[in-house]
Amino acid sequence: MPRLLAHYRPPVPIYAFCSSDTVARQLSIAYGVIPILLPSMTSTDQMLHEMERLLVETGRAKPGDNVVFVAGQPVGLRGSTNMLTLHRVGGTRG
C-alpha cells in the first residue's frame, strides 16, 4: 500500500511501519516512503498507539497533527489493507 500512495508523490512523508526487515528494505526505495521497523502487533488499536508514540517521540509529529492511518484486518495478513482512518495525534480514541 505505501507504494501505491507514493505513486501520487504527496507533499508529506509516508511512514511505513512494518515488522519485516525485508519489507522495510523494499519500501525504502519507494518515493517518499520512510520504513520504520516495529515488532509484530496483534491489533490495529495497538498499531495506532505504537505509531503515534513513535512519531511523537522522534519529533516527526506533535499533538494536534493529523495523520492518515492505513492498515488491514485481520492484522498480519498480506494484502488485507481495508482500513483508512484520519487520526489526530494526542486525540481520544473511540
Q: Mind listing the pLDDT tens digit for each residue in 42-63? A: 888 898 899 999 999 999 999 9
**Is 94 part of a structural domain of the chain?**
no
**Is 93 part of a structural domain of the chain?**
no
Domain extent, residue 48, equals 2-88
Question: How far is residue 71's CA from residue 29's CA, in Å, rounded to a whole number?
Answer: 20
Indicate whether this model's pTM tops 0.85: no
**Is 65 part of a structural domain of the chain?**
yes
Preceding omega of 35 cis (within 30 degrees of 0): no
For residue 77, what is the DSSP state? Answer: -
CATH number of the domain to which 21 belongs: 3.40.1380.20
Give me the number of domains the chain comprises.
1
